[in-house]
Structure 1
Amino acid sequence: MRRSRRLLLALALLAPTLLGFAPGGSGETISLAGSEPGARLDVTLTQVVDPATPAGPDNPTGPDNPTGPDDPDGPDRLVATRFRLENTGTAVYRDSPAPATHLLDADGRRFTGIDLPTTAGPAFPAAVTLDPGATAEGFVTFRIPADAEPAAVQFALDAGLADDVGQWSLPLP
């Protein structure tokens, strides 16, 4: 079982290289293109907070938070990832960072980012607009099983659907 788990992790981490993704080291800036002409961002993963704590009254019990914000023994935990986005293209960037971001765990499972504020810091708004040359920083949160081991984070433009995908290995130093 342990061997197959490691094989899955190796495949998950190797797949981006084989499929044309842009792998990055921890904290490295990766330049990514979108599908529209002039769409280009420099994306940097700057921080990972694991576990992250929900913030504020915006976190009621519900489908994104089935155990409630104050249940320390719940089956899930939050991981918050901080990104810096710089529009290096010629087109205005308009996108939603949360669904554009994915966390891969050591078992090869993939989790999509959610718009859930945490005490780690300010989250990106649901929609970010950046003129050429402008920057934005914010957190994207993931809800993962309590026993999951984060292995990598991926980001792509066009709500995560662009062909150009950046990947950072975890944990960050």
Structure 2
Amino acid sequence: MRRSRRLLVALALLAPTLLGFAPGGSGETISLAGSEPGARLDVTLTQVVDPATPAGPDNPTGPDDPDGPDRLVATRFRLENTGTAVYRDSPAPATHLLDADGRRFTGIDLPTTAGPAFPAAVTLDPGATAEGFVTFRIPADAEPAAVQFALDAGLADDVGQWSLPLP
């Protein structure tokens, strides 16, 4: 059973390449297009903090959390608007973490001590850049395998994927 699960994970991680997604090596910059004319970002995954620590007491994680025992993973991105249109989007729902069992987790707006999080909405004029963290709440035993990012709140056809762990 474990072998078949690993095969499924391998297929899930290869699917982006086969379906036209833009795979990137750890720390590489991937150029992504949005669905609107002139929407384009260069996106770089620069850091992964695993586990991450919540920034305040209002952000529990662990056995007393209503979602059950889990941990936080914070991922730092650099976004550069290389298009001709103004970028207005929410980075957290545009970002997904895939684990070694093929599960997919959507980014959340949860501050951690890893560093400053992106605001709920980011606006970048052409040529402007922004950096910030997107956090994921994952099961304690999950093994992060990849992170994905797409414009249009994660719904754009052009998806970047980075393998984990970063070097």
TM-score w.r.t. structure 2 length? 0.94
* Contact residue 100 and residue 156 of structure 1 kept, 8 A: yes
The answer (yes or no) to whether the contact 1:8–1:106 under 8 Å persists in 2 is: no
Closer, same or farther: CA 64–98 of 1 in aligned 2, 3 Å: farther
1:12 deviates by: 1.2
> Does the CA-based 8 Å contact 2:47-2:166 persist in structure 1?
yes
Cα distance in 2 for partners of 1:69, 1:126 equals: 27
Q: How much has 1:164 moved relative to structure 2?
A: 0.1
Cα deviation for residue 20 of structure 1 reads 0.6
Cα distance in 2 for residues equivalent to 1:102 and 1:12: 13
Number of residues paired by the alignment? 167
Alpha-carbon spacing, 1:64–1:75, altered in 2? closer, same or farther (3 Å): farther
User: Residues 75 and 133 of structure 2 are in contact (CA less than 8 Å); yes or no, is this contact kept in structure 1?
Assistant: yes
Q: Deviations over 1:130-168 (max 9, x none)?
A: 000000000000000000000000000000000000000
Q: 1:70 to 1:12 in 2, by over 3 A?
A: same
Q: CA deviation at 1:89?
A: 0.1
Aligned in 2, Cα 1:163/1:75: closer, same or farther, shift over 3 Å? same
SS at match of 2:27: coil
Q: How far, CA to CA, are the matches of 1:108 and 1:73 in structure 2?
A: 20
1:5: Cα distance to partner? 1.9
Unaligned segments of structure 2, at least 5 residues: none
| Distance (whole Å) between structure 1 residues aligned to residue 57 and residue 139 of structure 2 | 14
Q: Using the TM superposition, give the Cα deviation of residue 11 of structure 1 relative to its aligned residue in structure 2, in angstroms.
A: 1.0
Shift of 1:69: 9.5
User: Deviation at 1:32?
Assistant: 0.1
In the superposition, relative to structure 1, how do residues 87 and 74 fare at CA in structure 2: closer, same or farther (>3 Å)? same
Q: Does 1:121 align with 2:120?
A: no
Relative to structure 1, the CA distance from residue 161 to residue 42 in structure 2 (aligned partners, 3 Å threshold; closer, same or farther) is: same
Runs of 4+ residues deviating >3 angstroms: 62-74
- Distance between the aligned counterparts of 2:99 and 2:161, measured in 1? 13
Cα gap change, 1:69 to 1:83, in 2 (>3 Å): farther
Name the CA distance, whole Å, in 2 between partners of 1:162 and 1:42. 14
% identity of equivalent residues: 99
Contact 1:96 1:126 in 2 (8 A): yes
Paired residue for 1:15? Answer: 15
C-alpha distance after superposition, 1:10-47 (max 9, x if no partner): 01110001111000000000000000000000000000
Partner Cα distance (1:139, 1:27) in 2 = 14
1:46 and 1:117 mapped to 2: Cα distance? Answer: 17
Does 2:105 match 1:111? yes
Contact 1:54 1:69 in 2 (8 A): no
Partner-residue secondary structure (3-state), 1:72: coil
Instruction: Tell me how far 1:8 sits from its aligned partner.
Output: 1.7
